Amino acid sequence: MDFCSIASGSSGNCIFVGTERTSVLIDAGISGKRVKEGLYAIDRRPEDLDAILVTHEHSDHIKGLGVLARKYGIPIYSTPGTINAMLEQQLLGKVEEGLFHTVTPDCHFELGDLEVQPFRVSHDAAEPVAYRMRSGEKSVAVATDLGYYDDYIIEHLKGLDAVLLESNHDVNMLQVGSYPYYLKQRILGRRGHLSNDNAGRLLGEILNDHMKAVMLGHLSRENNYEALAMATVCTEITQGDNPYQAKDFPIEIAKRDMPSRMIAV
């Protein structure tokens, strides 16, 4: 199974997961042109996509969704709440009704040789989910836009071979930054975003001997920077109550404007 971030950040998110038989995107929050260029950069084509899995309806996750679905006839999978929000707010333009497919949190479904498991996350959207995918004995997950984590989230992220996890902001940068008070409270709240510190703590709960790659994603442009996210997460892992040190795993930042390396698990 191949796993790659085409773009990840507060300005747009698009993740590729594929096998020799099946290719999917998780979100299409950048322009259709950028998605196409990103796929070509990793030797894939939009014509070959079997589905786009949507986490929620915010623009940094669906900006290119309507264009791609219309142009290439790509099926869209998401929760009923997210689909209704996209349609009611007219966020996609005209998309054929038959391209929409509903998913239910904690109910597995199959796309080719990929088994997909959506699971609930806490975010200020209609019905947001994250996704875990398995092919054979290998599993990867993408979990962003979660205001907090609990035992439910931890269970859905255990036993992975690779993960892209949100490391959105540095709490101190956010608190002293230029954002208005209401926006700071939204980001820091239980329906907001995961901080660097909490990303490191969550990783300490889910790391395992088989983990081949960790990507830190959805970094805020205004309230974070790569070196700080990496240092904070690594410190939390190494000093946390777990048997690992950060150096035991390949940890990298998912770039906001270019594809990451292709991870094979």
pLDDT of residue 198: 98
Tokens of 1: 């199974």
- Classify residue 251 as exposed, middle or buried by CB count within 10 Å of its CB (0-12, 13-18, 19+): buried
**Which of the residues in the chain have pLDDT under 50?**
none
Distance, in Å, from the CA atom of 183 to the CA atom of 170, rounded to the nearest integer, reads 14
Sheet with 14-18, strands from edge to edge, namely 100-102, 76-78, 51-53, 23-26, 14-18, 2-7, 263-264
Distance, in Å, from the CA atom of 95 to the CA atom of 167, rounded to the nearest integer, reads 33
pLDDT of residue 248: 97
Report the sign of the C-alpha dihedral through residues 83, 84, 90, 93, in that order.
positive
Cβ-contact 160, 115 below 8 angstroms: no
pLDDT of residue 8: 98
pLDDT of residue 225: 96
pLDDT of residue 109: 98
Question: Of 193, 120, 126, 185, which is closest to residue 153 (Cα–Cα)?
Answer: 120
pLDDT of residue 191: 97
Give tens-digit pLDDT for 187-199.
Answer: 999 999 999 999 9
The model's pTM: 0.97
pLDDT of residue 240: 96
Question: Of 23, 130, 95, 42, which is closest to residue 34 (Cα–Cα)?
Answer: 42
